[in-house]
Amino acid sequence: MASKSPRIALHLLVGLTGLVLAAQLLLTIWPAVGVYVNTITFVILLAFAVRRPALRSFTLLLAVIPVVAWISLIIATDIPRLFATYGILLALGITFKRQVSFRRDILPHVPHISPRHYLIALGVGVILGGLSLAIPHTHPITTLPLVVALPACVVFAFAEELYVRGLIQQQVSQYVSANFAILLAAAAGLCLSAGQGSVWLILLALISHGILSVLYRFIPRLALTTLANSTMKILWVVAASFTIH
């Protein structure tokens, strides 16, 4: 019986993540229907949280995504919606981080962060920043003054890393292999961007979250993935602001 548990858990992890991703993509393609599917998805996740105690933390973490999507739909103006979305994501992420416990042996032990680690993270951020410049997309943050946009990039990056790497990737690593955890974490990161209406932004999210999840797999430090993520965002925002102005 115990030998079947990992397979059952794997099917549930993939199925629930796929359900959330499909709901968010439907919000982009057909919002009038997507909002109802999003609500049904939220109810299903809560039901699994009640009926499957072993996966309760994961399903509750996934339920954050429909909540964030509702906020995006309720607030019509781009900038308030952006700050409200990441504010809720950050608040829920901090709340879950305080309450969810993880096995300490599921990720490699890194006793301390060396300058070499920071350089690796910075290099990853520069590469992703170059990629974000190569992929045509728009984002409301570029309408803000740089004095506001740059700190926002760091806060937004930390909110994403706390949720996707610090919670989702660590949680699923308890049930599946590290490589499969990377795929599920990238899918969760993709879910956060899937309802924002830009195909190019969705593509960028898939690539960037995949690479950041690989970085976290080998050097599990949120400080480093946040550095890479914020570097990517800052480079793109600075370049976009000069192009616009």
Q: Helix/strand/coil (H, E, C) string of 42-105?
A: HHHHHHHHHHCHHHHHHHHHHCHHHHHHHHHHHCCCHHHHHHHHHHHHHHHHHHHHHHCCCCCC
pLDDT in tens, 201-239: 788 888 999 999 999 999 889 999 999 999 999 998 888
The SS3 of residue 150 is helix
What is the DSSP code (8-state) at residue 174?
A: T
For the chain, what is the domain count?
Answer: 1
Question: Using CA atoms, how far apart are residues 7 and 2, in angstroms rounded to an integer?
Answer: 10
pLDDT in tens, 161-212: 999 999 999 888 888 888 889 999 999 998 887 655 567 778 888 899 999 9
Q: Which two tokens stand for residue 104?
A: 């300490």
Do the Cβ atoms of 23 and 38 come closer than 8 Å? Answer: yes
The answer to whether residue 5 scores a pLDDT higher than 50 is: no
pLDDT of the residue at 168: 92
What is the DSSP code (8-state) at residue 173?
A: T
pLDDT of the residue at 68: 84
Range of the structural domain that residue 223 is part of: 2-244
Binned at pLDDT 50, 70 and 90, residue 120 comes out as: very high
pLDDT of the residue at 104: 53
What is the reported pTM? 0.86
